[in-house]
Structure 1
């Protein structure tokens, strides 16, 4: 791989503002990577909810889509940023741009390795390109799986600095609604303040899930918003709402595998009278077998490049959860960098070539045999 050539392509891809509110730019990013891969592959295109995606593999020719020994998964959408973040710039070993770390550079490396090895490997691999991961992934990865795409092992190129992510947290978005009774604030005994009721419930939730002082692998709750339609100082608010973002690991005793109704019942146990729970998005956690042959091969490949290959846990949700739901092991393995979703996001250029070589070694060394249970 020619690093400078790849960085030139990265500059062009990073300049595409492929955010959720710009469907044409997301489609342009997808077409760019398809052109980057080049001809000679079967390209299946998908679209759901206005989000295009694609699946590439060698062969095909009108025959049945194979079960892939390995799938490379990459998302090409990014979160919004200032206009200047879509003008990539180099500063020493750092390439700054929105999507540099998360995860357009990894996507190009995955695409390059796929293009070079898919035609010559003794087993089928797929390259899955999606454009909606940052807004949930349901119309990209989840949609493709629902259309029958399947494999034995998945490498998702989210950033990891060549460490291997075998666990990531699930999420719950919920709202707490409190009702009270309006009245004149000069006579508080005549009303029932919904904000006070809501605050009591929030205190109970945060007593059960206190904000940690540092990184910890347990369930956390973020109070993202508190609001009331009240617009006057001298009025007792009759309604109030709080938004909560909950992140939970696979080991949590209360949330994994529960239905939205069961999750609502769990959080209702913290509610004081006058407060109700409304469940929004629910996404399961993800876990892959840390002792599998594929994970071991990926670790060996990373270590051969001078990186630790250590296990890393992700506190954020990723598309790996969709594979986990379908009984497919998926890991996150990507380049290094920092500043994800922030104003100074960058990729560590020094990790790009080791990442390329580790992926190449991983695919070449991976046994092509049948599933262990066959």
Structure 2
């Protein structure tokens, strides 16, 4: 890897505001990265709900991949300044620097430079930040498969073999409208909703520090009322819940079962609707491919330690298909925040670890 070339390409990629609402920019980020891979490969293109993705491999026919490198090129929204990359020593600041354009770019180069006989594919998607259903999940539904998957989300060259499950729910409270000067004539739905939220958070209190347990985030609260001088007749709260595999109240449960459980934590007349329940991700830490990737990281001077992630990633889709997937990426900090940056000292070791790992795959 020529690090100067990589940084020049990386800054160009980071300057593309490839957010979910900019379809043309998603396409531009995808085409840019495919251009880095270069000619001589088969490129399969997919589109689902306007979100483009690609699958790159050698040969005329898509194989059952021995290893698949997965990277996403979409980012969460940011200020215009965040799409103007800037360096400060070994840090490169920009939206997507850590999560995960630079890892995806390094994956593209490692794929390009891997020995030709290695049965590896490169999967580039543009919808991970909004769920991954039109990228990785869609490609899996079209028959794409692999024995082992390396997802380039940031990890500082450690291996994420376990991630929390994800579910989203809406808590709805109903009341009776009235003039706010005469509250005894109404039934305030917001107050009822607040009691419901308190009931849920009593079981799942807001974490004050990192802890491996189920967490609940109250993401949004809305009411249909528009007048300040009116008792609201309805109110809704959106919950984002991340749960561990050990939490039997969520793990292995259907949406209806989860809705019934959450309803039991709320006052009467409050309705809970569960939109989706996605299982935790797990990869076998004793697997041969995991061990080989760990050795490759250690050969670059990194621990290759195992990590557990609180957030969900596209690895969950592979887990649902019985395919081991690990998260393995560069380092950095500030994901989704105003000061997101990539640790540039991890880029070359990451690339070399990938090439070393792929060179040993048979």
TM range (shorter): over 0.9
Query: Which position in structure 2 is the counterpart of 1:105?
Result: 102
What is the distance in 2 between the residues matched to 1:232 and 1:41?
60
Please give the TM-score of this superposition, normalised by the length of structure 1: 0.94
In 1, Cα distance between equivalents of 2:134 and 2:187? 44
Q: How many Å separate the matches in 1 of 2:272 and 2:135? A: 30
Corresponding position of 2:356: 361
What TM-score results when the alignment is normalised by the length of structure 2? Answer: 0.97
Aligned position for 1:310:
305
Alignment match, 1:80: 77
**1:237, 1:43 → 2: CA distance?**
54
Q: Report what 2:245 is aligned to.
A: 250
Counterpart CA distance in 1 for 2:115 and 2:120 is 6
Contact kept, 8 Å, 2:242 with 2:310, in 1: the verdict is yes
Inter-partner Cα distance in structure 2 for 1:41 and 1:129: 14
- Residues 179 and 194 in structure 1, CA contact (< 8 A), matched pair in contact too: yes
Pairing partner for 1:269 from 258, 264, 268: 264
Match of 1:134 in 2: 129
Q: Partners of 2:350 and 2:91 in 1: how far apart?
A: 16
Deviations 1:351-372 (A, max 9, x none): 0011011111212234x2xxxx
Match of 1:191 in 2: 186
Aligned length: 362
Q: State the 1:118 CA deviation.
A: 4.8
1:372 aligns to what? none
SS at match of 1:273: coil
In structure 1, runs of 5+ residues without a counterpart are 369-374
Does residue 170 (structure 1) correspond to residue 165 (structure 2)? The answer is yes
Q: Does 1:19 align with 2:16?
A: no
Q: Note the 1:41-60 alignment, pairs <5 A.
A: 41-60=41-60
Contact 2:172 2:193 (8 Å CA) reproduced: yes
**What do you get for the CA RMSD once the two structures are aligned?**
1.3
Give the structure 1 partner of residue 318 of structure 2: 323
User: Following TM superposition, by how much is the alpha carbon of 1:328 offset from its aligned partner in structure 2, in angstroms?
Assistant: 0.2
In the TM superposition, residue 284 of structure 1 has moved relative to its aligned partner by: 2.2
Q: Report SS of the residue matched to 2:65.
A: coil
Gaps of 5+ in 2: none
Deviation string 1:118-149 (CA, Å, 9 cap, x unpaired) is 5133xx11000001111111010001000000
Deviation of the 1:308 alpha carbon = 1.1
Q: Distance in 2 between matches of 1:231 and 1:99?
A: 37
In structure 1, how many angstroms separate the alpha carbons of the residues matched to 2:30 and 2:122? 12
Match of 1:344 among 299, 320, 339: 339
Q: Structure 2: how far apart are the matches of 1:118 and 1:72?
A: 15
Contact 1:250–1:287 (8 Å) recurs in 2: no
Could you tell me which of 85, 93, 98 is aligned with 1:96? 93
Show the counterpart of 1:371. none
Question: Following TM superposition, by how much is the alpha carbon of 1:234 offset from its aligned partner in structure 2, in angstroms?
Answer: 3.8
CA contact (8 A) 2:165 2:243 kept: yes
Q: Deviations over 1:252-273 (max 9, x none)?
A: 2111222221221111111211
Q: How far is the alpha carbon of 1:248 from its aligned partner?
A: 0.8
- Secondary structure of 1:279's match? strand
Contact 1:58–1:118 (CA<8 Å) still a contact in 2? no
Residues 158, 304 of structure 2: 8 Å contact kept: yes
Secondary structure, counterpart of 1:69 in structure 2: strand
